[in-house]
Amino acid sequence: MNNLTILSESFEKIKEYLKNNEDSNIPIVKFKTPSELKEIINFKVDKIGVSEHEFLDLIDNYLEYSVKTGNKQFMNQLYSGFNFPAFIGEIFTVLANTSMYTYEVAPVATTIETEMIRLMNSYSGYSNGDGIFVTGGSNANLIAMFSARNKAVPESRFEGYDCNLKLTAFVNEQAHYSFETAANVLGIGAKHVIKVKSDENGKMIPTELEKEIKASLNRKEKPFFVAATCATTLLGAYDPIDKMSRICKKYNLWLHADGSFGGSLILSDKHRYLMNGIEKTDSFAWNPHKLMNIPLICSVLLVKKRGTLQHNITDINTDYIFHDIDKIEDLGKKSIQCGRRVDAVKLWFAWKYFGLEGYQKRMDNLINMAKYAEQKVQKHENLKMVATRQSFAVCFRYVPNFKTDLNAFNLALREAMRKNGKSIVNYGYIGKTLTIRLVTVNGALSTQDMDVFFENLLTTADKLECKMYS
């Protein structure tokens, strides 16, 4: 098999794929059931390898039947869009194939990650901060809780966690499930993650937080961790960090900001007021693979106090890897991973390409597109907002011209859109009400793209309405 021929052909396929990504007439997905896919693609690995022609066919089929998340009509998840400089960064990262544990094997990548952490800390206000690239927002939340536990119970690093202490953590009732997973992993127990009431807009109510902390203390428990969510997954709500920080200071609790979805809004001078008080937190989870459109995975945990992350690691008796010859910091010493992929380089390429001002404009554009979508809903007689827009998420539903089960109709509408592949959007429940959730997370979106989305939605709804009414 000629590797150079395959490489040349692969680049041609990449060019074709990118061209198709810009064409709104090409479906985002050619939906197939698992059994149908197995009829098209031979997923089994055989004893004898495939030919060059067969290998290229596998590439074609993989791209043909995968969801085109880079298409501007993909508004289904909290990540979307194609970021060309970051894509280039990803290619050359894989080409170099290094790991992030020592400067010795990754001198350029180590320096880049250090610079990215410095830059991101300049936005968070952590003047003596630190940080590490991790495997996702859930992992960042885990390490934040891990760090808080080690601060609250220092001996747990060596002796283990004494469950009689009954550590308790507090999160928005609409916070991500990863906090319960983290409590499970750390031995604290998911039931000790206390969900605090939120208001009608999805924001944590500070008075309810203090009420829950007091109740925990009265139960002879040990509160130690509070998480402020920076954009909830359904409503895009930002918790009031400033007010929460005063409560955490009063009770000496670790305050973490989970910006896995909306943390990148910190780049916008115009809208970062939603994260007022971020500099008063102890840690901050930030996922550039979402609003900054960096290819998955690109996640960072920032901490306010330098040395916190390395303090988490109980013992580094590994002279076979950490030599300390040049007195240069090896990032592996503050990571719970040993082998760690290079995720900082693709972010660096993108940030260098767009510049600080360029990314600021991209963040502002995301809010502008959400506002535009909101206006589209408000102006159409069959579209109704289900909740007040908070940031990037627009929650609405279609109300047909005849009486029907609105939850069932809107679920059918969403499924019809998902399978026709013209535009893909997600849904969720606010109480018992099913809502279509449109998220504007692709920094390259334009009003024309939003018009195409609503045209596809309304056309699909009209066909569904005619089918059900006839």
Write the CA distances from 73 to 82, 371, 378, 419, integer angstroms. 12, 17, 20, 13
In single-letter form, the type of residue at position 126 comes to Y
Other Cβ atoms closer than 10 A to 469: 10
By CB neighbour count within 10 A (0-12 exposed, 13-18 middle, 19+ buried), where does 168 fall? buried
Longest dimension (CA), the chain: 79
d(CA 293, CA 271): 18
By CB neighbour count within 10 A (0-12 exposed, 13-18 middle, 19+ buried), where does 83 fall? buried
For the cut 80, the answer to whether the pLDDT of residue 320 exceeds it is: no
Q: Which long-range contacts (CB under 8 A, 24 or more apart) does 409-415 make?
A: 409/464, 409/468, 410/434, 410/435, 410/436, 412/464, 413/457, 413/460, 413/461, 413/464
d(CA 65, CA 30): 6
Q: Which residues are paired to 195 by β-bridges? A: 171
Q: Are 291 and 238 in contact (CB under 8 A)?
A: no
β-pairing, 433-439 vs 222-229, is unpaired
d(CA 192, CA 152): 15
Write the CA distances from 14 to 42, 63, 65, 91, integer angstroms. 22, 9, 15, 12
d(CA 81, CA 74): 8
User: How much of the chain exceeds pLDDT 90, in percent?
Assistant: 83
pTM of the model: 0.94
Average pLDDT in the chain = 94
List, in order, residues 6 or more apart from 208 with CB less than 8 Å away: 196, 197
d(CA 232, CA 176): 8
Q: Which residues are paired to 299 by β-bridges? A: 134
What pLDDT is stored for residue 5 in this prediction? Answer: 83
DSSP single-letter state for residue 342: -
Q: Which residues are paired to 302 by β-bridges? A: 131, 284
For the cut 90, the answer to whether the pLDDT of residue 412 exceeds it is: yes
What pLDDT is stored for residue 378 in this prediction? Answer: 98
Q: Are 132 and 126 in contact (CB under 8 A)?
A: no
Reported as a pLDDT band with limits 50, 70 and 90, residue 332 is confident
What pLDDT is stored for residue 451 in this prediction? Answer: 97
Nearest CA to 283 among 359, 196, 182?
182
For the cut 90, the answer to whether the pLDDT of residue 470 exceeds it is: no
Nearest CA to 109 among 119, 118, 97?
97
Reported as a pLDDT band with limits 50, 70 and 90, residue 251 is very high
Tell me: the pLDDT tens digits for 137-148? 999 999 999 999
By CB neighbour count within 10 A (0-12 exposed, 13-18 middle, 19+ buried), where does 67 fall? middle
Tell me: the pLDDT tens digits for 362-405? 999 999 999 999 999 999 999 999 999 999 999 999 999 889 99
For the cut 80, the answer to whether the pLDDT of residue 288 exceeds it is: yes
Domain assignments of the chain as residue spans, ordered by start = 3-68, 89-350
Average pLDDT of 140-169? Answer: 93
Lowest mean pLDDT among 3-12, 37-46, 206-215: 3-12
Class of domain 89-350: alpha beta
What is the token pair recorded at 193? 């993650």
d(CA 20, CA 24): 8
What pLDDT is stored for residue 414 in this prediction? Answer: 96
Write the CA distances from 142 to 177, 184, 212, 287, integer angstroms. 11, 10, 22, 14
What pLDDT is stored for residue 333 in this prediction? Answer: 85
User: How much of the chain exceeds pLDDT 70, in percent?
Assistant: 97
Q: 3-21 and 52-65 are packed helices; what angle lies between their axes, rounded to 10 degrees? A: 20
Count Cα neighbours of 178 within 13 Å in the Cβ-side half-sphere.
Answer: 22
d(CA 149, CA 188): 9
